[in-house]
Structure 1
């Protein structure tokens, strides 16, 4: 029997899912990332993701979350291994400000099967969620964060528990974990209207957005406004069927691999000025208890989702 290393097995699972989706998986792009970030991929939570975003060939990404194990800062690792895109100053300064001026507790990273490293995630420590004005005051941040500070205050979205820098699209994400009752279908619709983003005609989509465990906003240095809002929900495999009418999501749900344990997914609606699309990811590896406990420590009002067994 031939021994397969954990990294090789992970690559095989990524490749298998890419094939099922009709996505391109370039081994020469994926394996250097798995090798360079072996500590993160071996020791923390993992997930794969696809979207229904229009644009031709389906895409697949994979990530380590930082929950459950060692999670070193991905930026210097990517820099050392030559995995970053050509520097433009904006991303470099944003990462430096986050790493040096904010209380980062966990790091994670997102990778594409044709692009390599895409996003770097910074989760703040227990009790250290950051107010929007403090993040907006960082000199490297997009100006829209400061411009929309009033919007966040108006909707009770005061503290940021997680943020990410996309090193390829040159954007910044701010992640909020609203207290129960903060979001209702009506509030979601008003938020989207205020931001001049698409409001789904399907009321079921809006209702699900109101049940999201998080809401996150995308900012670009090239724009004075919020570019996108996403509303993610945890769902079990059994609950997923009605949400996967798109053939890409159906293929993902049917073929997504899991290292062990229950089959849990995250389904998210992403709203833009011209429409909306869906994201779907599988929790390839999570640490029973440790993942939920980490969330509870980071978010005072966190409640473990009442998922039906798959």
Structure 2
């Protein structure tokens, strides 16, 4: 359980990370989240940023919570960090936890906009099948409609997490433990075409072949794949694909971290109907479970 001094350390590290991207980190925005989750914050703690159309799009402070802490959205509601809704988005995580054991929950808190996204992580030894998830009453119907395509590309039983973006009313299903065959060039091109996404650049295809995980994004009330992201772990701050915003390189080389060894980074490349863009996560704190998880989810 983080104490007051520990929260001060977390705030200071977040402010340091934000300064690398010329983003303002205010106590007014951060402290409500830190105190709301103070007694349940667990490692890993991650700083996460996105570049889109040549610009850095913000910085998120991400952290884990233990399964017995319950749905992070409920805590966010209780502390005034989110608004109540009667939409089925409200019940998905509680329905998932009622059926399956979870390794952890996770929270994505955007430091200038607030509570943004939450994750439910399955144990790496017990990845879920698409059929198991589709059987959950509150699961968006788009999953069932896309199952044949996911199976066609060998992704049926490789689900390691589900995430909900409450702000945008979108959700993700994370596939991990991918082999070289899953991300082979022709397979990636065929998959993207099947999902109705545009032809990727050579840079994105090169990057995808290094990936061990991928995650599509769907709208809550649609089966359309809005975008797909490929992710890979690295300790190399120079591993960013070409033509990326220089601030990301600076961030990758200098983001604060509090564990031994090299800084752990996770890069992701995303393709939507309108653009390609890149994401970068830098792990600030780790634990043994996080070292395993970072191989599979970002």
TM range (shorter): 0.7 to 0.9
| Aligned counterpart, 2:133 | 135
Q: 1:120 aligns with which of 108, 113, 118?
A: 118
| Aligned counterpart, 1:106 | 104
Question: Contact (CA 8 Å) 2:231, 2:269: kept in 1 or not?
Answer: yes
Question: Contact (CA 8 Å) 2:55, 2:245: kept in 1 or not?
Answer: no
Give the secondary structure class of the aligned counterpart of 1:212: coil
Distance in structure 2 (CA, Å) of the matches to 1:58 and 1:100: 35
Post-superposition offset of 1:244: 7.1
| Aligned counterpart, 2:275 | 275
| Aligned counterpart, 1:157 | 155
Post-superposition offset of 1:51: 0.6
Distance in structure 2 (CA, Å) of the matches to 1:57 and 1:108: 23
Q: Which moved more, 1:29-38 or 1:177-186?
A: 177-186
Deviations 1:205-264 (A, max 9, x none): 212212212111111124331111111111113543665731331332244111232212
Give the secondary structure class of the aligned counterpart of 1:22: coil
Distance in structure 1 (CA, Å) of the matches to 2:86 and 2:251: 34
Distance in structure 1 (CA, Å) of the matches to 2:243 and 2:274: 22
Unaligned segments of structure 2, at least 5 residues:
none
| RMSD, aligned α-carbons | 2.7
Question: Contact (CA 8 Å) 1:22, 1:58: kept in 2 or not?
Answer: no
TM value normalised by structure 1: 0.84
Distance in structure 1 (CA, Å) of the matches to 2:187 and 2:88: 33
Deviations 1:153-208 (A, max 9, x none): 0000012111111121111110011432222111111111111213322x242122
Give the secondary structure class of the aligned counterpart of 2:103: strand
Give the secondary structure class of the aligned counterpart of 1:196: coil
| Aligned counterpart, 2:216 | 217
TM value normalised by structure 2: 0.87
| Aligned counterpart, 1:28 | 28
Post-superposition offset of 1:22: 2.3
Distance in structure 1 (CA, Å) of the matches to 2:292 and 2:53: 36
| Aligned counterpart, 2:58 | 59
Question: Contact (CA 8 Å) 1:229, 1:270: kept in 2 or not?
Answer: yes
| Aligned counterpart, 1:90 | 88
Question: Contact (CA 8 Å) 1:50, 1:252: kept in 2 or not?
Answer: no
Give the secondary structure class of the aligned counterpart of 1:145: helix
Q: Which moved more, 1:215-224 or 1:265-274?
A: 215-224
Does the alignment pair 1:170 with 2:169? yes
| Aligned counterpart, 1:50 | 49
Distance in structure 1 (CA, Å) of the matches to 2:247 and 2:292: 32
Distance in structure 1 (CA, Å) of the matches to 2:48 and 2:259: 17
| Aligned counterpart, 2:245 | 246
Give the secondary structure class of the aligned counterpart of 1:45: strand
Post-superposition offset of 1:15: 1.6
Q: Which moved more, 1:260-269 or 1:147-156?
A: 260-269
Distance in structure 2 (CA, Å) of the matches to 1:54 and 1:183: 25
Give the paired residue count.
291
Deviations 1:48-80 (A, max 9, x none): 0111124977311011135xx787222332222
Question: Contact (CA 8 Å) 1:51, 1:280: kept in 2 or not?
Answer: yes
Post-superposition offset of 1:286: 1.3
Does the alignment pair 1:260 with 2:259? yes
Post-superposition offset of 1:294: 5.7
Distance in structure 2 (CA, Å) of the matches to 1:27 and 1:293: 32
Give the secondary structure class of the aligned counterpart of 2:276: strand
Post-superposition offset of 1:16: 2.2
